[in-house]
Copies of this chain bind each other. A is one copy, B any other.
Amino acid sequence: MGKTLMKGNEAIARAAILSGIDAYFGYPITPQNEIPEYLSKLMFEAGKVFVQAESEVAAINMVYGAAAAGFRTMTSSSSPGIALKQEGITYLCGAELPAVVVSVMRGGPGLGSITPSQGDYNQATRGGGNGDYHVIVFAPETIQETIDIMKEAFDIADYYRNPVMILVDGMIGQMMETVDLTKPVKKRFLPEKDWAANGTSRHSKRNVVNSLYIESDILEAHNLALKKKYDKVVINDTRYELINMEDPDYVIVAFGTMSRICRSAIEMLAEKKIRVGIIRPISLWPFPNVAFENLDAPHLKGILDVEMNLGQMLTDVLVANNGKYPVGFFGRAGGVVPEPEEVVDAILHFKNRVVK
């Protein structure tokens, strides 16, 4: 098929179809409305299920139902809409059900604005659901990367029997880029879903899918089994990109759209003979601690966390760094997208930015 010019939200929809999605359930909210709009047409043409549900709560519970029956399913929403899905997401984790949740961030808190933002880092990585659980969160930087991760996300969800979140901002959703939908991605061996509650015609026993464990010791055993699975995700599916990391003076940590802007900023800084590398987390959970542990940078003066929020990833950066280097922060909030010059300036005046 080759290269095509495509909007991010359309790419997400098309990549879902290419991933063999069986059912989509959602409820409208700007700036992700093109995803359900495209899917309402594409799913119909593909003979699959598309439901615009009564509410976000209804949609995520339909995802739960379809996933429990063994189907590939997804939902998508934006900031307050994702907030409403937190109960459903923790249920999916507790019941070990695969599903893909696309979150297109807008300004917050509350209704906030409809402009692009990274203000839902905490929401994505710490949830708001209850209990010890993790959602696997990927934050792509380009539309091509969004497509590639989408295509892999359903497999990863099935592989671990855990929800996977694709976290982008409105900018990625709305911009157009030339993409190749056919680019091959890593394939995994996926066994039959013999746990699915899809009738007894395929299994001799009646499968039950639930997240309720009345006995504390049985629930603890379940929690420890989940933890073991999460440890496996940390080892196998932590993802990040190292950019310009040969002997840097400074290291920027940035994800998604923000890292694109930082790429421009470090070129500007290179002209000023300041070498700045970027650690770009692709998986936000698991966070790439390993990239910080492996840091071999004799001239490193500090690490600058750059975000389109007021410092939500800072906690993870500080934990990963664990006191080794000075850590600073620069960010803009409320849906304001920083200019590369502002990032340059933050590096030039790093001392004013130091947090710890």
A176-218 contacts to B (CB < 8 Å): 199, 210-218
Given contacts A94-B109, A94-B112, A126-B122, contact A334 B87 (CB under 8 A): no
Decide if A351 is an interface residue (CB 8 Å cutoff): no
A123-163 contacts to B (CB < 8 Å): 123, 125-133
Is the CB–CB distance between A80 and B84 below 8 Å? Answer: no
CB distance from A108 to the nearest CB of B (A): 2
Q: How many copies of this chain does one complex carry?
A: 4
Q: Which residue of B lies closest to A130 (CB)?
A: B79
Contact-residue size bin, chain A (C-beta under 8 Å from the other chain): 35 or more
Given contacts A111-B210, A322-B356, contact A334 B53 (CB under 8 A): no
Is the CB–CB distance between A110 and B84 below 8 Å? Answer: no
Given contacts A322-B323, A322-B356, contact A108 B128 (CB under 8 A): no
Is the CB–CB distance between A131 and B114 below 8 Å? Answer: no
Decide if A33 is an interface residue (CB 8 Å cutoff): no
A200-255 contacts to B (CB < 8 Å): 210-224, 226-227
A74-111 contacts to B (CB < 8 Å): 79-84, 86-87, 90-95, 105-111
Contacts of A41 in B (CB 8 A): 199
Decide if A264 is an interface residue (CB 8 Å cutoff): no
Contacts of A224 in B (CB 8 A): 333
CA distance A321 to B321 in the complex (A): 12
Q: Which residue of B lies closest to A310 (CB)?
A: B132
Is the CB–CB distance between A131 and B54 below 8 Å? Answer: no
Decide if A113 is an interface residue (CB 8 Å cutoff): yes
Is the CB–CB distance between A87 and B94 below 8 Å? Answer: no
CA distance A121 to B199 in the complex (A): 36
